Copies of this chain bind each other. A is one copy, B any other.
Amino acid sequence: MEFRHELAQQLRVDSIRSSAAAGSGHPTSSMSAADLMAALLDGHLRLDFAHPDNPENDHLIFSKGHASPLLYACFKAAGAIEDAEMMTFREFGSRMEGHPTPVLPWVDVATGSLGQGLPIGVGLGMTISALDNLDNRVWVLCGDSEMAEGSIWEAFEHAAHYRLDNVTALIDVNRLGQTGETMHGWELSAYSARARAIGWHAIEVDGHDPSAIEEAFNEAESTTGRPTAIVARTLKGKGVSEVEDRTGKHGKPLEDSEAAISELGGYRDLDVKVSAPEGGKRPRRFDSAAAELPSYELGSSVATRKAYGQGLRALGTRRGDVVAMDGEVSNSTHSEQFREGHPERYFEMYIAEQQMLATAVGMQVRGWTPFSSTFAAFLTRAYDFIRMAAVSRADLCLMGSHAGVAIGEDGPSQMALEDLAAMRAVHGSTVLYPCDGNQAAQLLEPMADRSGICYMRTSRGASPVIYGPEEQFPVGGSKTVRDGDHVTLVGAGVTLHEALAAADRLAEEGIRARVVDLYSIKPIDSETLRSAANQTAGLITVEDHWPEGGLGDAVLAALADTGTTAPVRKLAVSVMPGSGKPAELLGQAGIDATAIAEAARGLVR
């Protein structure tokens, strides 16, 4: 225990040192959890730092990502990084970022938006137990402030539901948030009672008592059938009188680092031997086999969401790495098709979109290819998780169904009208929007192969099949489905069909409208748009989306990027819809064939 105390003091000293060198950071939030981390490193964590890809490695997630000085001090103590690198904390170009990101091989995911590390840890626990069939553990260090995030309770629920005894949450109850005391202060029972009510094993400990911590870790490791929360009473800034248990000491270096280091017993350079896993087991993998994608006859009708479900089932046969999950609407998104075909690779996430995203992030960390689906409108619930997944360099396939006013009677709460804007504005994202069944099915494998966040928007209603089943749809491409040299109509999804109908009407009037199917909204086919701008009087863009940030803005940006100036008229939904028949709502929104034809006449005139 003396070694652990010394190690903890070293972690505190190093947290103070790196933050002092940076001139910013969160040393006091690091100091409270140092004893917990010393115990974890010295005897409980099984992590081969030299082989970060070892599938039997434990996972260590700092859900309280601002305690990054502590994490980096742990990496140094474990010999994974040098002191000199640790001391580049928060410098431009350093891997020691202000909050941890996967630029470091031992960091699975970015944290720093609170309340996300535990949900992702639960996703990892699900992956290890239900997919990989291995024994490694997931350790998540949580702050007490972040326990106020609802996402934390989604994680608690799912961990209990899936009986994840491989997950241990270390809750660092240092009482003090950024601005003052947390809602529950040092009332440890507030956390343990909630955890127990949900089905966790919960242990309250003095987070600075090495023996008590050791006992709690042993208890966590021997608990079966349920996850464990170690609720640790700690002192923020523990060990240094300048900051210990004081308000106003969050998120800044200590004023007198030298004195603080002295008070902690001075600089140390202890090494801790973190055990490597020795199981020699390989994660379970599922077979891949030949399977035909679903195909739909030209001229028949099918909803793109249905093609998604049927296509995903086929993709699941073709590729054993593909897994799927849904936010309790699998009979609407048709992900139930995958569940029926591959029940052992399907996960019901209930109505907990944040946990759904977190689970997907966890699964891709361990090499699986997750497809997550719900109504597109409800993916907004997890927008912070999607944003952070991009910082985590995660590869995710997301499908949002029931887009736009075209859903009809259910009304605006169910209509995604901002999803294209939100998803385009995710770094490195891909945004796809098929208009027919064959297109939707064909786009699934490219999604699975793609890096980053890949989003497919689908529609509720059946739409005519206009492409043959062999047609290919490269990401970043488009299809010119009707030639013409007077004006160009650009649509995708439901509006592509409205554009085709408009082109028919215009043809009767002698106006030759080109129609472009912009199924890949990001990346975008700038070349085709540029040509259309140069060869016709201008472009009409039509989208079942608010006017801001969607297809129309994407077209304008693509033209600007290629230096093309041309008249563009954007049609989009501009009044708050109510209920009604799809055609009534498309008409009211001014994005139906009538509105498109009228706008085209205006441009040609």
Contact = CB atoms under 8 A, between A and B. Distances in A.
A12 to B, nearest CB: 21
B412 A93 contact: no
Interface string A1-41: 00000000000000000000011110000000000000000
B421 A150 contact: no
A377 B99 CA distance: 14
A53 interface: no
Interface in A354-393: 354-355, 377-378, 380-381, 383-384, 387-388, 390-391, 393
B580 A93 contact: yes
Contact of A424 (B414, B548, B566, B567): B548
A46 to B, nearest CB: 27
Most central of A194, A353, A410, A550 by chain B CB within 10 Å = A410
A502 to B, nearest CB: 19
B427 A576 contact: yes
A428 B576 contact: yes
A581 to B, nearest CB: 6
A98 to B, nearest CB: 4
Copies of this chain assembled into the complex: 2
A148 interface: yes
A579 B378 contact: no
Nearest to A414: B112
A113 interface: yes
Interface stretch (A124-132, A259-267, A329-337): A329-337
Contacts of A115: 351
B93 A150 contact: no
Most central of A111, A425, A557 by chain B CB within 10 Å = A425
Interface stretch (A71-79, A174-182, A220-228, A461-469): A174-182
Contacts of A585: 92
A566 B351 CA distance: 47
A422 B103 CA distance: 27
A350 B197 contact: no
A417 interface: yes
A501 interface: no
Interface stretch (A133-141, A153-161, A230-238, A438-446): A153-161
A145 interface: yes
Contacts of A428: 576
Interface in A103-133: 103, 110-115
Contacts of A566: 565
A148 B119 CA distance: 13
A578 B546 contact: no
A354 B115 CA distance: 12
A519 B123 CA distance: 42
A379 B561 CA distance: 30
A409 interface: yes
Given A177-B350, A331-B178, A560-B556, A377 B387 contact: yes
Nearest to A92: B580
Nearest to A431: B548
Contact of A413 (B65, B157, B547): B65
A288 interface: no
A256 to B, nearest CB: 21
A351 B148 CA distance: 5
A352 interface: yes
A507 interface: no
B157 A183 contact: yes
B413 A350 contact: no
9 contacts: A92-B578, A98-B579, A112-B410, A150-B152, A179-B331, A422-B422, A427-B576, A556-B557, A557-B570
Pairs of residues from A and B, 10 with the lowest C-beta to C-beta distance, nearest first: A150-B150, A112-B413, A92-B580, A549-B549, A421-B425, A418-B425, A98-B411, A565-B565, A153-B153, A197-B197
